[in-house]
Amino acid sequence: MYDNILLPTDGSDSIAAAAKHAETLADRTGATLHVLSVVDTRNRFESPTGGLSIEAWTDAEHERAENAVDNTVALVGDDVPVETAIVEGVPKTAILDYVDDQGMDMVVMGTHGRTGLDHYLIGSVAEKVVRRSPVPVVTVRLTD
């Protein structure tokens, strides 16, 4: 039923809950777990007074993404086959593109559960993926 399960990660300390759900689903279905982190190419600080160059932003985002993938993979047991990927783009779009391009059967992702002004300002990648995904999405509330 599920051959490929996607676990997007942003490197949050609380990703363990989503990783555990994804690991359990992959183990029970014999699926390969794909751990993905997106290098956010939207430099929010790029301006004459912003202080970060495009290169500095991209380098920092690549390092964050690599650490996010490594730390998430470390949470998954050795019995589950894991593939890793780091892609560039806008997170919600890059995750949905990965689902399509790599033939994912399911997505398991964390949600911070932001509401009010935080949700309006920061948005919810999980919400956007749930709304647009062509495959089932399991969301796991991330706790601090």
| pLDDT of the residue at 47 | 52
Domain ranges (residues) in the chain: 4-141
- Contact predicate 104/4, CB 8 Å: yes
User: Which amino acid, one-letter code, is at 19?
Assistant: A
Q: For the whole prediction, is pTM greater than 0.85? A: yes
Backbone angles phi, psi at 139, to 5 degrees: -105, 140
CATH of the structural domain 4-141, one choice from 1.10.3260.10, 3.40.50.620, 3.40.50.10440, 3.40.50.150: 3.40.50.620
- Contact predicate 93/38, CB 8 Å: no
pLDDT tens-digit series, residues 34-93: 999 999 887 665 555 456 677 888 888 999 999 999 999 999 999 999 999 999 999 999
Q: Do you know the residue count of the chain?
A: 144
